[in-house]
Amino acid sequence: MIRDKLTKACPNLREKFELWDSGAYYQEDGRDFMIRFLGINADVPQLLVLNSDTDPLVGVNVNVNGTTWLPYTPTTIFYEPVPFEFMYTPELKPQVIVSVEGLEAACDSLNCGYTYIQPTAQITDFSLSGTTLTITGTDLPSVIKTIQFSNVACTNIVVTGTTTITCTVIAVAGSWQPIVTDANGYIPINSTNVINVPLTVTSVSPNANLNPNGGTTITISGAALP
């Protein structure tokens, strides 16, 4: 009944409010109802419940009181507070949490700023001949920090101009791309190619008269073993 009267008085609020009893139906000071507005993108006019002269409430010494738990003010809108984790501001240097092996690391003045630097260097191709890995690209830096290929660190890194890098690596079997880093981090690869390193087995010893109960030590020889 109360919902119908509220909807009739404020048709624009239809389906935009919840109405329920607060606590027991009959309390010491009367019956309390709670109203919460939903999906409204503007301030809701303050509602005041009055006893009607034409359709009065029945009872003795009837009093009608109302309380707005979240009143509208210039600094407080008529909505529940927004959780802090939902609030953000666009920043050029957002703050980050830094941890090393699960332990939080303290930054200078506790100011752990993160700045994204657009890479200018780019890897466009790569090849492997024996133990020599050749990497070509554009704007390659003169100082390379690390090169990994097939999860093995390269040695004897040589940078020729801004287009070629060579290094020595004993690769293991698999399909790989080089991972190259400089002082600014990872150098992106503009290629979907991979280098396929085959697995070669030259001998298995012993290959006969094996102990069926186990315990025989087998030696496998070959190349590119992981």
Interval 121-150: pLDDT, tens: 999 999 999 999 999 999 999 999 999 999
With contact defined as beta carbons under 8 Å apart, do 55 and 42 qualify? Answer: no
> Pick from 56, 47, 215, 195: which is nearest to 134 by CA?
195
Could you read off the pLDDT of 53-106 as tens digits, one per residue?
787 777 777 777 766 666 666 666 555 666 666 777 777 777 777 777 777 777
Give the position of tokens 């993108």.
Answer: 41
Domain with CATH 2.60.40.10 in the chain: 122-197
pLDDT of residue 105: 73
Order of strands, sheet of 185-186, starting from the edge strand that comes earlier in the sequence: 152-153, 146-149, 179-182, 185-186
pLDDT score of 12: 76
Fold of 122-197: Immunoglobulin-like (2.60.40)
Q: Considering only 13-22, 42-51, 96-105, which range has the smallest mean pLDDT?
A: 42-51
64 vs 45, more confident? 64
Please enumerate in sequence order all residues whose Cβ is within 8 A of that of 94, keeping only pairs 6 or more positions apart, or say none. Answer: 113, 114
pTM exceeds 0.75 for this model = no
